[in-house]
Amino acid sequence: MLQSLPQSLELILTLDGLLVLVFGTALGIVLGALPGIGSTVAVAMVLPFTLTMDQAPAILTLLAIYAGSVYGGSISAILINTPGTPQSAATCFDGYPMAQQGKAGLALGWSTVASVVGGIVSAIVLIFAAPQLAALALNFGPIEIFALILLGMTCIVSVSEGTVVKGLMMGMLGIFLSCVGGDPITGESRFTFGDYRLIAGFNLLAVVIGVFALSEVLMRASQRLDSTAAMFDFKGLVLPKMSQWRGRGRNLMKSVAIGCGIGVLPGTGAATAAFISYAEAKRSSPNRANFGKGEPDGIVASEAANNAVTGGALVPTLALGIPGDAVTAVMLATLTVHGITPGIRLMQDNPVVIGAIFIGFLIINILLLPLGALVSRTSAPLLRLPEPYMLAAITVFCMVGVYFVNGNPLDLIVAVTAGIVGFILRRQGFPMAPLVIGMVLGPTLEISLRQGLILTDGKFSEFFVGHPIAVVLMAIAAIALLYKPVKQGMVRLRKLT
């Protein structure tokens, strides 16, 4: 990786490369600030604009949108008490009360500095941890890969919102959808029902855009739409003074550590990290009595943790090909669109592009400070835009995105169907992230399982003999899967007794 650093720098340190980072981050902040869009939809909306770009700028644009949108969510959380992204929900607790006290600019200042620190530390974690993990995984055979994917999937399902059964069902649905099309070993068509257009399978991005973006439009349409939210007077971002940081450094670093740690675990997500970090800050802060009344520690805890997740989530994504969350699942699909095969050989095969991604991600997080100051003020009036216009715009952008992935009209039908089915399932509490992760990991899971069985003459029991890494990974997967139901069972039992 180090040998290719000069070439990676050449990709970034050009006028085009820097413009991509600046505009991508600024656009990410604006999209993140608009309630209802969220990081996944923001990345999906911008995807078609990257199709004419080279690999590195295209992926960096999407990374800039990702990091920018996670930070941008705090703008609406503070100014209108509506988180732009779910990750910023915990920021409302103290950000909005500060705005009510006439300190909206200062609240955004705390959130910006915490986001920048969280993002930079997570980028450093990514740069050092991902190559180590990838190097370790390079020695894996099909049985170890099967165990690894199984672990990734169970982690994702067991921590997803809703019940474990519903999460697992969505995971199975995702795996099944990934099986539609040509069989990777015999080439036989599966579940295409005679339609030749399905031989290549369902387009992952069409399904992702459907279940996240189009179903969100229907979810919003099914709820009461806010015409325009009340917004407090905001004259610009005010950075906290050094003296105001006294006694808060520990909370900041602890929140960053929580965010990075949770980010590395597949499937946990930034929203979970922000709430855990907020709860920990509330427990341990000397100012705990002020939480919920406009306490800066609350904003710092939430924003440092959710931005620290971004780099952490990219560790399993880039090193192992296991997406950390729904956004990184879209990223993985995007890599494929740009001709890069995700998986354990990603870093080995594409050192220059991956190096550029690492450096670019660090620069993006540094850029959050000046761009946050600039864009938060200019984007604030957009928060007054009535929601119906945003919903119509999201739909049109999504259709453009789906069309451009392959230029296949069938993808439009797939996206719309996924949107309607996703809406029905989401109303019943089914999480959508496991479905997408199942679709992403399904093909690798299938190939590694079938290759492993062919190697062992069809004896699954031999997966446990002579493969200690696989045994450990499968044991952790079993614990991850059983932990939540056992814990819930224990709580019920305790209530009964």
Give the residues lining the site for other proteins (CB under 8 A): 48-49, 51-52, 163, 165-166, 168-169, 172-173, 175-176, 179, 183, 185-186, 188, 190-191, 214, 217-218, 221-223, 225, 386-389, 391-393, 395-397, 399-400, 403-404, 409, 412-413, 415-416, 419-420, 423-425, 427-428, 442, 445-446, 449-450, 453-454, 458
Shortest distance, position 219 Cβ to other proteins, whole Å: 9
Question: The tokens 């007077």 sit on which residue?
Answer: 233
Residue closer to other proteins, measured from CB, 139 or 428 = 428
**In Å, how far are 142, 265, 302, 322 from 161, measured between CA atoms?**
30, 15, 19, 19
Alpha carbon dihedral 214, 218, 219, 220, in 10-degree steps, equals: 100
Residue closer to other proteins, measured from CB, 396 or 490 = 396
Shortest distance, position 465 Cβ to other proteins, whole Å: 18
Shortest distance, position 60 Cβ to other proteins, whole Å: 18
- Who contacts 381 (Cβ-Cβ below 8 Å, separation ≥6)? none
Shortest distance, position 299 Cβ to other proteins, whole Å: 32
Residue closer to other proteins, measured from CB, 249 or 386 = 386
Shortest distance, position 429 Cβ to other proteins, whole Å: 9
- Who contacts 42 (Cβ-Cβ below 8 Å, separation ≥6)? 28, 31, 32, 65, 66, 69
Residue closer to other proteins, measured from CB, 325 or 446 = 446
Assign residue 421 a region (left: φ > 0; alpha: ψ between -120 and 50; beta: otherwise): alpha
Shortest distance, position 419 Cβ to other proteins, whole Å: 6
Angle value at C-alpha 488, between 148 and 464, nearest 5 degrees: 25
Residue closer to other proteins, measured from CB, 172 or 471 = 172
Residue closer to other proteins, measured from CB, 107 or 175 = 175
Shortest distance, position 353 Cβ to other proteins, whole Å: 22
Shortest distance, position 297 Cβ to other proteins, whole Å: 35
The helix (H) or strand (E) run that includes residue 394 is helix 387-406
Distance CA 387, CA 35 (A): 8
Residue closer to other proteins, measured from CB, 82 or 448 = 448
Shortest distance, position 324 Cβ to other proteins, whole Å: 23
Residue closer to other proteins, measured from CB, 322 or 399 = 399
Shortest distance, position 407 Cβ to other proteins, whole Å: 9
Distance CA 210, CA 456 (A): 40
Distance CA 409, CA 29 (A): 32
Give the CA radius of gyration of the chain: 22
DSSP alpha helix (H) spans, 84-103: 89-100
First-to-final CA distance of the chain = 58
Question: The tokens 């739409």 sit on which residue?
Answer: 225
DSSP alpha helix (H) spans, 13-82: 15-33, 38-46, 55-80
Residue closer to other proteins, measured from CB, 99 or 416 = 416
- Where b means 16+ CB within 10 Å and e means fewer, 23-55 reads ebbbbbbbbbbbbbbbbbbbbbbbbbbbeebbb
Shortest distance, position 372 Cβ to other proteins, whole Å: 27
Shortest distance, position 190 Cβ to other proteins, whole Å: 5
Residue closer to other proteins, measured from CB, 362 or 418 = 418
Are 237 and 79 in contact, with CB atoms under 8 Å apart? no
Distance CA 100, CA 119 (A): 28
Q: Which of these, 439, 396, 405, lies nearest to 178 by C-alpha position?
A: 439
Residue closer to other proteins, measured from CB, 186 or 497 = 186
Are 402 and 145 in contact, with CB atoms under 8 Å apart? no
Q: How many CB atoms lie within 10 A of CB 428?
A: 8
Residue 389 CB-density burial (10 A; 0-12 exposed, 13-18 middle, 19+ buried): exposed
Residue closer to other proteins, measured from CB, 372 or 431 = 431
